[in-house]
A and B are shown apart, each in its own frame.
Chain A
Amino acid sequence: MANNLRNMTESEFLNEIDMIVQADPGSTAISDQLSSLKGWDSMAIIMFIAMADEKLNATLDIKVLSSCETVGDLARLCEVEIV
């Protein structure tokens, strides 16, 4: 993970996920399985990498990203604090 990470709250992170998977605002939960998110596809993964780069200044390990199963796993990958 790159240094100089920017911070994001859990709520902000979930809003970003909502946008990426084109879900209704507030509908994605930290415990959601990625496989249950209709819009979580190869394009969404690209958008997630871009979001992490742009808003968190984070460089993601794609092998670790591929092993993520829940939205919470994504948040932990980006070092977003889960309340």
Chain B
Amino acid sequence: MIKAAICGIASYLPEQVLTNEQLASEYSGWSALKILEKTGIQERHIAGETECASDLATAAAQKLFKDGLCAPEDIDYVLLCTQSPDYFLPTTACLVQERLGLSTSCGAMDFNLGCSGYVYGLGLAKGLIETEQATNILLITAETYSKHIHPGDKSVRTIFGDAASATLVQAVSSDHDKIGPFVYGTDGRGWNNLIVPTGGLRRAHAENAELIEDASGNKRTINNLYMNGAEIFTFTLRVVPEMVSKLLARAGERMEDIDLFLFHQANRYMLEHLKRKLDIPDEKLPIMMAHSGNTVSSTIPILLKDLETAGKLKKGQCLMLLGFGVGYSWGGSIIHW
């Protein structure tokens, strides 16, 4: 039977680095050590002024090709997840098709999701492959949240980093699923808890926008990313345990059958709390975000790649991937590595 499988992953982090020491020098009362302790992040990479999602996406895909797992001409579909596209139109995936020299017979599309994006992307890829619409899919996540963030907003500037990933999802012959099952969820009541309020067609970018300072001293304008961390955390505590239960039930697995729980790397404190809440052993829920931060839809593929590089992934392992956040949107999947 034809099944979809993850056959390779590459990631790209922009050159410019924002360290905790730099942040601490700008924000009184926040030492570099405090930032590391609270977030688990030591540094985050920031896209250059002229570096956009298509640039990061292209760089990640080129690394994948350089690894020899496939050639550009083999790709017959591009799925690109981003919330910071180069343009409203055309589609960023079309730009990437041209820059990578992919066939003009290749399908290409963007989809707009954040922290849940990688899981949704795997679901789309599985659907395309197992209905024989595609054979070699380039699933790309590319995000430049830094361009939405005000330099005076430490609440989000300490957390988010820019990055891209490229995953090769291929058709393989197998008797059992390599990717799946899936669970999905959406709750639009959380729409304004992680948002860039202007720049879309609902509300235009505001010229000379007023600088607002909140009770914690974070500064931003209406044109900048806003995150209500408390609401986001509460949402996470509500949906993640339920998602784990539903996914286990759908897969017919138990907690102890899962070799690794690969959660969206939002921040270390949240992940440590979820680990305790779900009673997951330390070694089964890796937290590896010190050198990249929260890269939105790229956190899970970057985590997979880092684990693979460290020799911590073994063939046949049962992995649970969970993405959750902006929207609110969430998704989970089982992967047989």
Contact = CB atoms under 8 A, between A and B. Distances in A.
B233 A50 contact: yes
20 contacts: A35-B215, A41-B216, A45-B230, A46-B229, A46-B230, A46-B270, A47-B269, A49-B234, A50-B270, A50-B273, A53-B273, A54-B273, A54-B276, A59-B234, A59-B237, A60-B234, A62-B228, A62-B230, A62-B231, A65-B230
- Identify whether the interface residues of B are mostly helix, strand, loop, or mixed: helix
Given A59-B234, A59-B238, A42 B229 contact: yes
A50 B269 contact: yes
B277 interface: yes
Contact of A42 (B218, B273, B276, B277): B218
A4 to B, nearest CB: 15
Contacts of A50: 233, 269-270, 273
Contacts of A54: 273, 276-277
A30 B218 CA distance: 27
Contact of A38 (B29, B215, B233, B234): B29
Given A50-B273, A54-B276, A54-B277, A42 B155 contact: yes
Contact of A62 (B38, B218, B234): B234
B277 A53 contact: yes
Interface in B199-239: 215-218, 228-231, 233-234, 237-238
Contacts of B228: 62
Interface string B268-298: 0110010011000000000000000000000
A46 B233 contact: yes
A53 B230 contact: no
A65 B29 CA distance: 23
A43 interface: yes
A47 to B, nearest CB: 7
A37 to B, nearest CB: 12
A36 interface: no
